Amino acid sequence: MQRIPIKYAAPGMKLEKEAVTPEGQVLCGPDSELTAELIERLKKQGVTVLTVQGRPVVLPGDKSLGTRLKELEHRFSKVNNDPVLKAIKKLIAEFWIVQEKGPEAVASAQKNGGQN
């Protein structure tokens, strides 16, 4: 799944989570397919961010999962002896992997000894 500013939304994308107005009103649910009209309507209602399925957009400043995991490792390089922080690092890595590739990817990444 990917969170995108609404201006990156395009017809054909499918919502992963419901679209919500700033007032908290739900406009359409998960699995709704975006159309040009729907996107316009969501914009008019003040929706700014959508959570869509897959990773359809390359946002400015977006980095690949591999780069992000490498940077995560570097950021933790001075606190690796702390068990709590180590656990948090692992949870962040897992969260990103699941977000990008789905839950089953975490197990195989751990098997390969990747980021942990």
Partner 1 sequence: MTREELIERLDNVQSLPTIPPIVSRLNEMVQDEDTTAARLGKVIEKDQVLTAKLLKMVNSSFYGFPQRISTINNALVLLGFNVIKTLIVTSSIFEVMQASDIRLFEHSLGCATAAGIIARRRGIKNPEEVSTAGLIHDLGKIVLRAELPKEYDRILATSNERELPVRDVELEIVGMTHSEIGGILATQWNLPDSLVTPVKYHHRPAKCKDHQEITAIIHFSDILVRAVGFGSGGDPWVPPLDHKAWDIIKFGKSDAREILEELDEKLAELANFTGEIDQEQ
Instruction: Give the amino acid at 56.
Output: P
Determine, following the binding rule CB under 8 A, whether residue 24 of this chain makes contact with partner 1.
Answer: yes
Determine, following the binding rule CB under 8 A, whether residue 68 of this chain makes contact with partner 1.
Answer: yes
Determine, following the binding rule CB under 8 A, whether residue 37 of this chain makes contact with partner 1.
Answer: no
The answer to whether residues 73 and 115 touch, using CB atoms and an 8 Å cutoff, is yes
Determine, following the binding rule CB under 8 A, whether residue 26 of this chain makes contact with partner 1.
Answer: no
Neighbouring residues of 108: CB distance < 8 A, sequence distance ≥ 6: none
The answer to whether residues 106 and 116 touch, using CB atoms and an 8 Å cutoff, is no
Contacts with partner 1, residue ranges (CB under 8 A) = 3, 5, 22-24, 48-49, 51, 59-61, 68, 71-72, 74-79, 82, 84-85, 87-89, 91-92, 95, 99
